[in-house]
Amino acid sequence: MPEIQEALLPHPEKEDTITPLVLSRLLKLARDFESQGNIHQAIGLYTKILQKYPDCKEAEEARLALFNLAEKYLQEGNTYHALAIYDKVV
């Protein structure tokens, strides 16, 4: 499914055409992945939003979602995955 994620994200050269609606839909898709248990896909999409559009509202929401996932991993004792996600957040 990573190829779907890549297809959904706007290309950097078209960055000026990205709209808040598109970003909110991408964020919703990431949340849907997470709620369906597709955590790795959710993390990938949250990370892409955060990296490609760091100054938008959706990036902050993606950062918070990643932080919450890291906290869950930490509570489960999965320190390795928690630290890997914390690294994406900061």
pLDDT at position 2 is 54
**Per residue in 9-60, pLDDT tens?**
555 555 555 788 899 999 999 999 999 999 999 999 999 999 999 999 999 9
Sorted by where each begins, the domain ranges of the chain are 2-11+18-89
Cα–Cα distance measured from residue 8 to residue 59, given in angstroms and rounded to the nearest whole number: 16
Question: In the numeric block, which tokens belong to residue 68?
Answer: 């919450």
Contact by Cβ (8 Å): 58, 50: no
CATH class of 2-11+18-89: mainly alpha
Residue 24 contacts by C-beta under 8 Å, 6 or more apart in sequence?
A: 58
Q: pTM for this structure?
A: 0.78
